[in-house]
Structure 1
Amino acid sequence: MTVTLQALLGFIAWTLCLLVLMEGIRSWLVLSGAVPANGFNPENSNLSPFMQRLARAHANCLEGLPIFGGLMLIATVADRSAVTDPLAWALLAARVVQSLIHLASTSPAAVTARFTAFGVQMGIAVYWVFRLALPLLDPT
């Protein structure tokens, strides 16, 4: 398995981890009688600030997966993972950092740090797009 596919698996596993955490807490809230089974909003807006941040962190992963995961799959299918391998772990690390900051705080400093982690991911994705598309622009 290439480094790119390992990092993609890590991205999916991290997204799943956030989902399992959210659903575990929701299950506990139902079993404890704190919230009825049909009392959840998709964004957890009727729950604690932490649960709202957890829902957004999970949604952020889902929103990024088609872009970042798609580029990783394209590179792999096109046998061009040499383009994505060097930065694949950095992309995953930036995603995990972004999520952890999101879970921890919404202070101005935390939001800036979270956006910086997202900016790293965007920068890597833009770089990958250009590197993967470059052979398509070569007329020879």
Structure 2
Amino acid sequence: MTPSLVVLLAFASWTLLLVTGIATLRVVLSLTGQRRPNQFLPAGDDVSPFSGRLCRAHANCVENLPTYAALVLVAHLSGHGAVLEGLAWLFLGARIAQSCIHLTSGRSKAVMLRFSCMAVQIAIQAIWVVRLGLAWMS
């Protein structure tokens, strides 16, 4: 498997890990009688600040995974997968860092650092779009 495909698998796995965290937290609260199963709000803020951050970190992954997957799909199906390989691991590192920062704090400095990680991901994807466009035109 190429690095970009491994990163796709890792990104999907990370997203799955986050939703597993949400499910585990909610199951434990339900089974211990602290919360009824139908009382959880989607945003997670009703449980704890951490739960809210966990739900938002998962939502961020769900929002960005399709874009990454589409770029990987187009690149590999068009025979231009090499366009992605140099930055794939950096993309994943920025994605995981963004989620971890999101989980640990909601303070202003953390939000700015988290935004920086997101900006890295957006920049990498923009570079890939340009490179794929140039490869297609040549």
2:36 is the counterpart of 1:36: yes
Whether the 8 Å contact between 1:4 and 1:76 is mirrored in structure 2 is no
d(CA) in 1 for partners of 2:95, 2:65: 10
2:98 is the counterpart of 1:104: no
Provide structure 1 residue ranges, at least 5 long, that are not aligned to the other structure. Answer: none
Provide the identity percentage: 43
d(CA) in 2 for partners of 1:82, 1:93: 19
Deviation beyond 4 Å, 4+ runs, structure 1: none
Whether the 8 Å contact between 2:98 and 2:117 is mirrored in structure 1 is yes
TM-score, normalised by the number of residues in structure 1: 0.95
Matched with 1:73 is 73
d(CA) in 1 for partners of 2:14, 2:37: 25
The structural deviation recorded for 1:46 is 1.4
TM-score, normalised by the number of residues in structure 2: 0.96
Matched with 1:58 is 58
| Cα distance per residue 1:33-89 (max 9 Å; x no partner) | 111010111111311000000000000000001112211121112121110011111
Label 1:42 to 1:25 Cα distance change in 2 as closer, same or farther (>3 A): same
2:16 is the counterpart of 1:16: yes
Matched with 1:128 is 128
Whether the 8 Å contact between 2:94 and 2:120 is mirrored in structure 1 is yes
Whether the 8 Å contact between 2:80 and 2:135 is mirrored in structure 1 is no
d(CA) in 1 for partners of 2:64, 2:83: 19
**Which residue identity lines up with residue 133 of structure 1 in the other structure?**
G
Provide structure 2 residue ranges, at least 5 long, that are not aligned to the other structure. Answer: none
The structural deviation recorded for 1:136 is 3.4
**Which residue identity lines up with residue 33 of structure 1 in the other structure?**
G
Whether the 8 Å contact between 2:53 and 2:103 is mirrored in structure 1 is yes
